Amino acid sequence: MCGRTCLTLDPKEIQSCCKYSRSSEAKPKLPEYRNEFNCGRKYQPSYNIAPTDLSPVIVSAVHFDEQADSREQVIVPMMWSMVPSWHKGDYKKHGLTTNNCRLEGLAMSKLYGPPLNAGQRCVVLCEGFYEWQTTKNLKASDRQAFFVHMPQNDQVKIEDKSTWDLKNDGITLLKMAGLFDIWVNEQGDKLYSYTVITFESNERFSKIHHRIPAILETQEEVTSWLDFQHVGVNRALNMLRPSDTIQWYAVSNLVNNSRNKSEQCNKPVDHKESKNKLTTIKSKIMQSWLIPKKRINEESDLENKASMEEPPEKKSK
């Protein structure tokens, strides 16, 4: 699954990191950045992007210009959590959980099948996503959080922006396969929204979680996923597979709260230290529960002892 992402680049920096070419011989070009939709909402760079926030995705230019080549790419901010085009009323109240969609049965889904068959495929951009380790006997809020990202060039640390050279090579963004839909309100304003495709984890990532987003590792995979005019549905879905190159490290559980947007969200922490800290917190919680209980028991024992030592009442004459 995928519940939070991180993207701190501004639009021009994102364009620079998403240069592409339609063939191996063509000179790389910048994708166009469009920002005139989404009912007045704008993308805001953030260390902790949550469902219903806006973040940039790549789509085929054909969705905005029928005369364009389907291999031309456009970057468009969209809301995370897909609002189906047929929804009536407030888009915030469609009552569906659509931040992720399962690859299994995707083509037959009444919710996701229509966008898939209409070629509404997108590539979700981020510096990385957060995942919480699937651990038995622990509440979700107590599980260790990890930051998952792509390998970077030498001397580039994904958690340290001072090591990024955005004027030249930039950084390697993590790109996830998704679907999008277009919802229109009563005034005719359009809201673009997306969902991230997930499937069963491979053996390597299953140590963290049993589900993983469909990650596109190469420019060729990105181009094929977006090129719905030349790459059919079955072929596109069959090319999706768990990534073998992603990396991850433990982070603070600050990211658990979507209102925490601090740059500390994606900073590495020592996994053992984090586990020990969690154990300490649980121990303190237990002590805070036991101490009052112990005090109550002690007070009860004193009362019982006092009542036993109290002299009997004198008989009235």
CB contact at 8 A, 71 and 99: no
Each domain of the chain, given as residue ranges in start order, spans 4-269, 270-317
Which one of the listed residues 72, 131, 159, 221 is annotated catalytic?
A: 131
Least confident of 54-58, 93-97, 166-170, 286-290: 286-290
Active site residue 101: no
Residue with the larger pLDDT of the pair 307 and 107: 107
Active site residue 131: yes
Which one of the listed residues 2, 17, 101, 265 is annotated catalytic?
A: 2
In 3-state terms, what secondary structure has residue 150?
coil
Whole-angstrom distance, CA of residue 289 vs CA of residue 40 = 49
Whole-angstrom distance, CA of residue 186 vs CA of residue 205 = 44
Mean per-residue pLDDT for 88-109? 92
Using 50, 70 and 90 to split pLDDT, how confident is the model at 313? very low
pLDDT at 166: 86
DSSP 291: H
In 3-state terms, what secondary structure has residue 289?
helix
The CATH topology of domain 4-269 is hypothetical protein yedk fold (3.90.1680)
Residue with the larger pLDDT of the pair 284 and 45: 45
Mean per-residue pLDDT for 30-48? 93
pLDDT at 97: 92
Q: Residues in the chain, how many?
A: 317
Residue 307 pLDDT exceeds 60: no
Residue 274 pLDDT exceeds 80: no
Using 50, 70 and 90 to split pLDDT, how confident is the model at 309? very low
Find, among 26, 23, 57, the residue nearest to 43 by Cα. Answer: 57
Q: Half-sphere exposure of residue 303, counting CA atoms within 13 Å on the CB side?
A: 6
